[in-house]
Amino acid sequence: MIYSCGSDNGSPVPEAEDPNPNEPEDPNDDDPMDPDETQDPVETNDPNTDYSPAFEGQTRINGVTTETTYTVTVFASGLSNPWGMAHLPDGRILVTERAGTMRLVSTSGSVGSQITGIPAVNSSGQGGLLDVAVDPNFQENRMIYWSFSQDGAGGTATAVAKGRLSDSETAIEEAEVIYTAIPEFESTAHYGSRLAWDGEGNLFVSTGDRSSTVTRGEAQELDAALGKVLRITTDGAPASGNPFTDENGVLPEIYSYGHRNVQGLAVHPVTGELWESELGPRGGDEVNRIEAGADYGWPTISYGLEYSGVAIGSGITQQNGMEQPVYYWDPVVSPSGMDFYSGNLIPEWTNNLFLGALSGQHIVRLVIEDDRVVGEERLMEGEGHRFRDILDGADGALYALTDGGGAVIYRIGL
């Protein structure tokens, strides 16, 4: 299945139905956001709330359309409820499946057998084997890291483990849990669990508020790891330079707080800044640029409502000392895994942020300039796929992982 893009609505168009694809972008045109080419916002449905954005362009920014003709192909298939992807130095992709399995996908798209040696996970609800990260020094140490939902005496928790990929690539050796987010809670939802490397060999780890009014307030508490972005070493210890390492009664692994359910983490390829996406309730999905020690507001401020339709807390969207999202959606698109594009196949995408949308059933492209979103595009809209993760591939293409049984990985490139 091959598609060519460049239609007026930003949706993929079969090549056979598009005999006159757009010409490549003029290499002398340094402005991808020509005001004469802006479009209406891609979101056309009514919002759930009457909240006003804090600044222009914080939501429903003008749409853009990719001018370069690109192809979308099924790269790999036959995956069962996958969640995360990471590529090895040679370009192969490690994929997790929520039931507790991990597989290697070759550069030609062949899906390997289950990798053994992974400790048991709790795959109920939203849990299971979730994200995966490959050690920056993999060629020397062959170490793999993964997040998962772990059973404990007090309930379940987001946990991080590590192990060595065997020389035969059939098993994880010497697996050990290096971090568990406290407190445990009897819930099977809002684990967060996305992983990303900083530039110093430390792991960013996201957690959720566990989807309960009992625990959501923990997102504001610095003695709890729920609703946070954490930064740990490869041994699970708090990373040096974290913002709260010298404060009593505070978890020193906390990097930022006030989050609902962070399922997207990505480091900007130029600035090295950490960006995240988190799922809102009824409205209020967010994209944030993460600063050390900052409070991102949940559940005190939100651009969403309770699922029942009533206001969350005091029904406010701004408060002193709390960060505003760079961008938000209402109604929701349910952003999941995300990545910045750093390839050279489609130059107009350089440093754009791509996110998988679960309920939105499309891939989000955000054009970002000076830390503000200046354009939004929806790719593969109308195909009926929930997109779980996005990977900036080693070959310059984007890889998009779908959700559920019989899931596939799409390759988006030339």
How many CB atoms are located within 10 Å of the residue 264 CB? 28
Question: E strand or H helix at 362, and its extent?
Answer: strand 362-369
- Catalytic positions, written as ranges: 190
* Distance of alpha carbon 259 from alpha carbon 281, whole angstroms: 12
Q: Which among 306, 302, 299 has a CA at the least distance from the CA of 286?
A: 302
Q: What are phi and psi of 114, to 5 degrees?
A: -60, 135
Q: How many CB atoms lie within 10 A of CB 344?
A: 9
Q: How many CB atoms lie within 10 A of CB 306?
A: 13
Question: Residue 287 pairs with which residues in a beta bridge?
Answer: 277, 327
Distance, CA of 27 to CA of 32 (rounded, Å): 10
Q: What are phi and psi of 240, to 5 degrees?
A: -60, 135
> If DSSP codes are grouped into helix, strand and coil, which group holds residue 348?
helix
Nearest to 286 by CA among 337, 325, 333: 325
Sheet with 407-413, edge to edge strand ranges: 71-79, 407-413, 398-402, 387-392
Angle at 229 between CA 214 and CA 333, to 5 degrees: 75
For the chain, the distance separating the N- and C-terminal CA atoms, rounded to the nearest angstrom, is: 14
How many angstroms separate the CA atoms of 309 and 175, rounded? 44
Sheet holding 285-290, edge to edge: 262-267, 274-278, 285-290, 327-329
Q: Cα(6)–Cα(2) distance, rounded to whole angstroms? A: 14
What contacts 296, CB < 8 A, 6 or more positions away? 256, 257, 258, 259, 286, 288, 290, 322, 323, 325
